[in-house]
Chain A
Amino acid sequence: MTTTTYNEAVACVPRAGTLYDVLELILDRGMVIDIFVRVSLVGIEIIKIDARIVIASVDTYLRFAEICNRLDLNQDQSSRTVPDLFAGLPSSVAAGGAKKAARSVGGKVKDAIGMGDDEEDDDEDEREDEREDEREQAEEPRRRRTSATSASGARSGSRTRARRTREA
């Protein structure tokens, strides 16, 4: 039910879909009857902020700059500085070239605003109610497996891998 497939161009979210794609509709649209009361939305603000925080940070700027600088080198094959600069980069990036690196940035952004924050939300619940969390894990193993790269990556292997690559 929560499977979301991304391709290069369009992401189609089937049925109930990923929560963040429709969160503001469930919370801010739909019928309201004045005389009804509303359950507490405490915690929702945190979820909302987590969801889109990736855009426009200095971190993003620096990644763009990195891409640009590599693009420049790629176009100017004769530059004598190429070997020097590539020597300092992770081998996978150097091999893949700028285009691949650019795509991977897009991928990271998607992870962070989609799958990644799903997991963040789970973390919220875990902190509050560990007992229920066990059942939740048992129920939703697929989502957990697919969200390997997350903002809170400590649980997955991605951070460890990244460190190793940098050292290499």
Chain B
Amino acid sequence: MSTSRLYVYGIVHADRVLPPGTSGVGRPAALARLLPVGELAAVVSDVPEGLRARRRDLMAHQALLTEVGAEAPVLPMRFGMVAQRASVVEDAVGSAATAHLAALDRLDGRTEMNLKAMTAQSHVEALVRDDADVRRLMATARRQPSYEGNVRLGQAVAEALDRRASESVDEVLPELRALAEGFVRGPDVPGCVLNVSFLVPKAGVGRFRAAVEHLADAYSERLELRLAGPLPCYSFVPQEGTGSGPAGRPVGGRTAEHAPAGS
């Protein structure tokens, strides 16, 4: 029974061929294969015994999708999707075939770039020059050195840095959105003032990265930018709701966080 369960990585066109030895989750890594469903195919592997979200399994999921998505589009599944048996995959993929084909079309030649912005912590000097409040607390802490005074001073610095970073984010976004075909806000990540994903034509990745580097330079006193990608298009596949069948959902339909590309 358990041997027939399948780990599902993603959905591709039926005419794809996986490179021999494409490996997936588990240790030893399970071999990935294609499960054809009409014009589509699911990329699947056996489910290793005791599988859970370990680092190497997350990385294996990610690496497989990156490799498969390098030459042709793939609809990446969220990590950890397991079907009880092959017929469940066939039914699920087959019943939404039209939507999946359209989504593959939309992602063809495109990739996801994820940008996170954190508060720059290394330019306290500039802040001290500009912020009268911090200077006042600093003078107090110097006159009467105390643990509490230092905590208050440090907190004021941290808050002011966060405020400046958040303001800068609004200035950074429009330029990047102009270079992308899609734009989705990611889940909140503690410590980040911004977490967004862009759908970028593969040919435009270099230009996009250059733009991020330019902005990172320009805003280095306020923001620390981290760009990840090219990534599987996790944020640009139809995000299924609970309950409703995938077939009834418009392909472009995304969560409320989605905003159209461009400014």
Contact residues of A with B, CB < 8 Å? 1-2, 8-13, 15-19, 21-44, 47-49, 51-56, 58, 60-69, 71-72, 98-99, 102-103, 105-106, 109-110, 113, 118, 121-122, 125, 132, 135-136
In the complex, the answer to whether B53 meets A43 with C-beta atoms within 8 Å is: yes
Q: Which residues of A contact B225 (CB under 8 A)?
A: 9-11
Question: How far, in angstroms, from A21 to B224 measured CA to CA in the complex?
Answer: 13
A21-B114, A99-B125 in contact; A65/B92 too (CB < 8 A)? no
Q: Which residues of B contact A25 (CB under 8 A)?
A: 112, 114, 186, 197, 231, 234-235
In the complex, the answer to whether B82 meets A68 with C-beta atoms within 8 Å is: no
In the complex, the answer to whether A31 meets B227 with C-beta atoms within 8 Å is: no
In the complex, the answer to whether A13 meets B226 with C-beta atoms within 8 Å is: yes
A1-B63, A16-B59 in contact; A31/B151 too (CB < 8 A)? no
> B124 contacts which of A39, A49, A58, A68 (Cβ < 8 Å)?
A68
In the complex, the answer to whether A65 meets B128 with C-beta atoms within 8 Å is: no
B77 within 8 A of A: yes
Q: Which residue of chain B lies nearest to A67 when distances are taken between CB atoms in the complex?
A: B124
Question: How far, in angstroms, from A37 to B237 measured CA to CA in the complex?
Answer: 19
Query: How would you classify the secondary structure of chain A's contact residues: helix, strand, loop or mixed?
Result: helix
B22 within 8 A of A: no
Question: How far, in angstroms, from A102 to B120 measured CA to CA in the complex?
Answer: 11
In the complex, the answer to whether A55 meets B54 with C-beta atoms within 8 Å is: no
Q: Which residues of A contact B128 (CB under 8 A)?
A: 68, 71
A39-B52, A72-B142 in contact; A9/B124 too (CB < 8 A)? no
B141 within 8 A of A: yes
Contact with A along B143-157 (1 / 0, CB 8 A): 001000111011101
> Can you identify 29 A-B contacts, CB atoms within 8 angstroms?
A9-B213, A10-B213, A12-B213, A15-B66, A17-B231, A24-B186, A25-B114, A25-B186, A26-B62, A26-B79, A26-B234, A29-B78, A32-B77, A33-B81, A35-B83, A35-B88, A37-B81, A37-B84, A38-B81, A42-B52, A48-B190, A53-B190, A61-B158, A68-B124, A68-B138, A102-B123, A113-B118, A122-B55, A135-B27
> A136 contacts which of B10, B56, B189 (Cβ < 8 Å)?
B56
Q: Which residues of A contact B37 (CB under 8 A)?
A: none
In the complex, the answer to whether A121 meets B81 with C-beta atoms within 8 Å is: no
Interface size on B, residues (CB 8 A): 88
Q: Which residue of chain B lies nearest to A15 when distances are taken between CB atoms in the complex?
A: B66
Q: Which residues of A contact B166 (CB under 8 A)?
A: none
Q: Which residues of A contact B231 (CB under 8 A)?
A: 17, 22, 25
In the complex, the answer to whether A68 meets B227 with C-beta atoms within 8 Å is: no
A8-B220, A64-B154 provided; 17 other pairs, C-beta below 8 A? Answer: A10-B213, A22-B231, A26-B58, A29-B239, A30-B77, A31-B237, A33-B77, A36-B82, A51-B190, A56-B158, A60-B154, A60-B158, A61-B157, A62-B151, A62-B154, A67-B157, A102-B122
In the complex, the answer to whether B88 meets A36 with C-beta atoms within 8 Å is: yes
In the complex, the answer to whether B189 meets A30 with C-beta atoms within 8 Å is: no
> B246 contacts which of A8, A29, A33 (Cβ < 8 Å)?
A33
In the complex, the answer to whether B78 meets A28 with C-beta atoms within 8 Å is: yes
Q: Which residue of chain B lies nearest to A135 when distances are taken between CB atoms in the complex?
A: B27
In the complex, the answer to whether A31 meets B11 with C-beta atoms within 8 Å is: yes
Contact with A along B134-175 (1 / 0, CB 8 A): 100010011001000111011101100000000000000000
Q: Which residue of chain A lies nearest to B236 when distances are taken between CB atoms in the complex?
A: A29
> B62 contacts which of A22, A60, A98 (Cβ < 8 Å)?
A22
B68 within 8 A of A: no
B98 within 8 A of A: no
Question: How far, in angstroms, from A79 to B88 measured CA to CA in the complex?
Answer: 76
Measured CB to CB, the closest approach of chain B to A40, in angstroms, equals 5
Q: Which residues of A contact B55 (CB under 8 A)?
A: 19, 47, 118, 121-122, 125
